[in-house]
Chains A and B, each alone.
Chain A
Amino acid sequence: MKVSVKELAVMGVLTAAAMIFSYVESLFAAFIPVPGVKLGLANVIILLAIFAVGEWQAFVIGIVRVLLSALLFGNLMSLGISASGFLLSFLFMLYLKRLGKFSIIGISLGGGAAHNLGQLICVSIYMSSFLMMRYLFLFSLFGVLTGLVTGFVCKLIYERVKEYDWLS
């Protein structure tokens, strides 16, 4: 596989943007009354990369972002939780995209719900308890709502950059 310099640079810039987004949203997470609920702004970048750059590039960007933010801000536990959320949401978003029936906003809200489900599954395994699943509906409701917001943001950005040739 050949990776051009421009492709590499684009992936680096998008990874940095995703890191910044997840840092910025951790700053105003304190204003949201429910503990642990985040907007998932980094998903804007992942979704944008899926559409504007490419699928495997988006996967690399997401994995690098998860590893780096765990290295900088988190620990092994938060790495597991965010990685499981990312993997499930990425697979689900890819599936929805390949179905070809949904708009960016639909794909984003599906990804948001899948992200929360993945985290919930990871926490259940981690705690060796099934009880955490009782918040399933609340989690997918928040996932759908935050996914709506991030999908809307992603659509606005994508409309402005889709003419740009990212890869050559």
Chain B
Amino acid sequence: MFGYDRIICMKKQDYILAGLILIISLALNFYISSYANKNDMSGNYVVVYVDGDLFEKIPISDNGEHEIVTKYGTNVIGIYDGRVGVTSADCKSRDCIKMGKISHVNEYICCLPHRLYIVIEGEDVQYDTVAY
């Protein structure tokens, strides 16, 4: 193609840099995931954290809609046959609804405007949140 080399003229170092970034982040990602996925059974509880503190713990068998009302706003969590998702929220972005449904231990949905996140936890899960 005409002038192709002149336009895309990445140096060899650029490819190495991109590869290094991806490899390091993949390795860190595996490390973090293995740390978080100590037991990958289907979860027992849907746990809602607000401001990093435990807010509500709902058994995953409890089908139906649950309203989470905090001082930041309202989110409605739908639990249907082990699949958990946010069905409505009164924030602007609604990214938490777009995050879809979760069904495995340690999967989570977060809602930044309301400072909450929803995570499925097993009965005897070992890790806890890391406080900064």
Chain A residues in the interface with B (C-beta under 8 A): 35-36, 77, 96, 101-103, 105-106, 109-110, 113, 117, 123-137, 139-141, 143-144, 148, 152, 156
Contact = CB atoms under 8 A, between A and B. Distances in A.
Contact of A126 (B11, B26, B112): B112
B contact face: mostly helix, strand, loop, or mixed: mixed
A134 B33 contact: yes
A35 B10 contact: no
B52 A103 contact: no
Contact of A113 (B21, B29, B110): B21
A150 to B, nearest CB: 14
A145 to B, nearest CB: 9
Contacts of B8: 152
Contacts of B21: 109-110, 113, 140, 143-144
A64 to B, nearest CB: 24
A127 B132 CA distance: 10
Given A35-B98, A102-B17, A127 B29 contact: no
B29 A103 contact: no
Contacts of A134: 29, 32-33, 36, 106
Contacts of B7: 152, 156
18 contacts: A102-B11, A106-B10, A106-B18, A113-B21, A113-B25, A123-B110, A127-B112, A127-B115, A127-B117, A128-B52, A130-B129, A131-B36, A133-B28, A137-B25, A137-B26, A141-B25, A143-B21, A144-B22
B28 A125 contact: no
B11 A103 contact: yes
Given A113-B25, A134-B29, A152-B8, A128 B51 contact: yes
A87 to B, nearest CB: 17
A131 B25 contact: no
B28 A105 contact: no
